Amino acid sequence: MGNIIDGKQLSLRLKGEMAEEVKALDAKYGRVPSLAVILVGENPASQSYVRGKIKAAGEVGIKSDLITMPADISEEALLAEIERLNNDNLVDGVLVQLPLPKHIDEERVIDAIALEKDVDGFHPDNVANLWLGKPCVEPCTPKGIMQMIAECGFDVAGKRAVVVGRSNIVGKPIAKLLLDANATVTIAHSRTADLGAVCREADILVAAVGRKHIITADMVKPGAVVIDVGVNRDTETGMLCGDVDTAAAQEVASYITPVPGGVGPMTITMLMKNTIECFLNRIVK
């Protein structure tokens, strides 16, 4: 029976460590890192994610500002607010909660965030730097996944990794981070033939699809580390669940992340890490 990688517990520990770090930064530089979060509209899921981010900032001692804008705000007004935050020397991180209302061009908005304040790691120059192996802000979900794998004491080098999903925010960047850690990486997607056979080759299996239990126990190689990124609503129980049939897969895996309480909390915790990184990069410049 595999071990659960408790993302909530790990997050608590990391946030405790970061809180100490922030105190030391305050003593050294006379201010704490600061994060501006822009929320457009009243999407309940986005409101809940943003609440989690603001709460985590408070726990770590990071100064946070929540800027709410109505759903019908113009793109120009949103861009002007980003510009204001880019120019505010006391703001270290700028985050625009996605998705945005349809009339706003998300790409244009992400492009507008100053590279050195891009705490989500979504800016195209950040993405380019990640793929070129240059210093960059790593996107939060993949960064959290790597921390969780490291936490198991699992040596990624030379292992087979399979990432199911090829989105820009999870699938592609986690594949790159695993590659950087010297895994041999396969990216699977909706057109992959015989997904089960591909997954069974994985020493590290990352599921980032968004479909309940697409990964069943028979798709898991015995002893594999299984990371479940998916967040789905079980239509029968109304409960949150991941992409992996966790209870059954746990019988086969060596380590597995739960949903909820796995990758989700770690994503928010890595946002705090990125805010501290951006603060340091800016202040020592």
> Is 53 tagged catalytic?
yes
- Residue 64 has, within 13 A of its CA and on its CB side, a CA count of 24
By CB under 6 A, tell whether 258 contacts ligand NDP: no
State which residue, 231 or 280, has the beta carbon closest to ligand NDP. 231
By CB under 6 A, tell whether 167 contacts ligand NDP: yes
Which of 118, 120, 203, 245 is flagged as catalytic?
120
> Is 125 tagged catalytic?
no
Determine the Cα–Cα distance for residues 38 and 70; give it in Å rounded to an integer. 11
State which residue, 185 or 229, has the beta carbon closest to ligand NDP. 229
**CB within 8 Å of 263: residues ≥ 6 apart:** 7, 141, 144, 145, 148, 227, 228, 229, 257
Determine the Cα–Cα distance for residues 181 and 117; give it in Å rounded to an integer. 26
State which residue, 9 or 182, has the beta carbon closest to ligand NDP. 9
Contact residue for ligand NDP among 96, 145, 208, 220 (CB under 6 A): 208
Environment class of residue 212 by beta-carbon count within 10 Å: exposed (0-12), middle (13-18) or buried (19+)? middle
Contact residue for ligand NDP among 158, 189, 233, 239 (CB under 6 A): 189
DSSP conformational letter for 157: T
Size of the site for ligand NDP (CB under 6 A): 26
Determine the Cα–Cα distance for residues 143 and 167; give it in Å rounded to an integer. 15
Which of 15, 92, 97, 221 is flagged as catalytic?
97
> Is 9 tagged catalytic?
no
State which residue, 135 or 238, has the beta carbon closest to ligand NDP. 238
Residue 186 C-beta: closest distance to ligand NDP, Å: 12
Determine the Cα–Cα distance for residues 283 and 172; give it in Å rounded to an integer. 31
- SS3 (DSSP) at 199: helix
By CB under 6 A, tell whether 188 contacts ligand NDP: yes
Q: Which residues bind ligand NDP (CB under 6 A)?
A: 141, 164-167, 169-171, 188-192, 195, 208-211, 214, 229-232, 263-264, 267
